[in-house]
Amino acid sequence: MSHLPAVVALLKAVLQIVLLAVPLYYLLKFLRRTRGFPILAGLLAVLLALYGAARLADLEVLRWLLSHGAPWLPLLLVVVFQPELRRIFANLGGTRARATLRKETAAGVVSQLAKAVEALQEEKIGAILAIEREESLAPFTTGGRWIDAPVNAELLLTVFYPGTALHDGGVVIRGDRIAWAGCIFPLAMDERRRAFGTRHRAAVGLSDRTDAIVVVVSEETGRVSVAYRGELLRGVSHNSLVQILGAAFEAGAEGAPPELAAAAPEGGSAPDPAAAPDRVARAIEAAKEDF
């Protein structure tokens, strides 16, 4: 019995270490995959170097400034990682918008989207379609109209036909539904995108802020482009587009049409949601081989 307090104290210490270490480990693991991590790492390195120099050289003013500026670090983290934090809280709040589709339904959606894009390409009708995935696109539907209609090639052609009220805006595809039409997506503002047209800049801007896959049809050339993770791939062929869309909807090879088989892992195994971004990236990399 005399050892009981020591055992309890040891268990409490272990529990506290676990409660602190596990969340910290997963937080660091998450932050390493974000674009703001190099900024954070560089800033912390500079601050530690300054604090070490202040201690060694006994620079009292600098040490005072650093110690009193530390409480502002959480605010800095919020600013740097604002997009990632928004995504986390959106998922925690139950706003994960992408519907889980059956393979047959996903294949039908991909077929209708590919059919619509092909027709738009032939007629040189400008269009921009955003495929919503894990992160809700509702905050980026400025000026849009709620449609909530099944994904249908003819309906998409009608929406984008020149002269209609919604043809200049973008369409948001949520699961197997056309959710919004006529949306004004945020434009990419960096210098290397200034030469792009408005639709292409909007596609890059939206894909840079979300995990959406954005398909653009050029009004001038009829060429199809795909934006993903802030990068734009131009001149995408019909077959490559089908593969990219198949990866976006996580359609497995089993039960899917032959043209989707290349977009799924070998063996036709059940799709793994966690690996979806990698499959999309692989499909886009494969599309680059067309050039």
Same domain, 108 and 87: no
98 lies in some domain: no
Same domain, 119 and 255: yes
Domain boundary among 51, 66, 92: 92
Domain boundary among 92, 121, 153: 92
Domain that holds residue 60: 4-92
- Asked if 157 and 120 count as a contact pair (C-beta separation under 8 A), the reply is yes
Same domain, 66 and 107: no
22 lies in some domain: yes
Digitized pLDDT (tens) for each residue of the chain, 291 residues in all: 567 778 788 888 888 888 888 887 877 776 666 666 677 777 778 878 887 887 788 778 877 887 777 777 777 777 766 666 665 555 554 444 444 567 778 889 999 999 999 999 999 999 999 999 888 888 888 889 999 999 999 999 999 999 899 999 999 999 999 999 999 999 988 767 767 889 999 999 999 888 899 999 999 999 999 999 888 999 999 999 999 999 888 634 333 444 444 334 344 444 444 444 568 888 888 877 665
Same domain, 224 and 243: yes
Same domain, 127 and 32: no
Same domain, 79 and 180: no
Same domain, 276 and 171: yes
Structural domain count, the chain: 2
Same domain, 127 and 53: no
11 lies in some domain: yes
* pTM exceeding 0.85: no
Same domain, 120 and 220: yes
Question: What is the per-residue DSSP string for the chain?
Answer: -TTHHHHHHHHHHHHHHHHHHHHHHHHHHHHTTSTTHHHHHHHHHHHHHHHHHHHHTT-HHHHHHHHHHGGGHHHHHHHHTHHHHHHHHHHHTT---PPPPPHHHHHHHHHHHHHHHHHHHHHT--EEEEEE-SS--GGG-TT-EEEEEE--HHHHHHHHSTTSTTTTSEEEEETTEEEEEEE-PPPP-SGGGTTS-HHHHHHHHHHHHSS-EEEEE-TTT--EEEEETTEEE-S--HHHHHHHHHHHTT--STTS-GGGGGGS-TT-PPP-GGGHHHHHHHHHHHHHTT-
**For the chain, first and last CA: distance in Å?**
76
227 lies in some domain: yes
Domain boundary among 45, 73, 92: 92
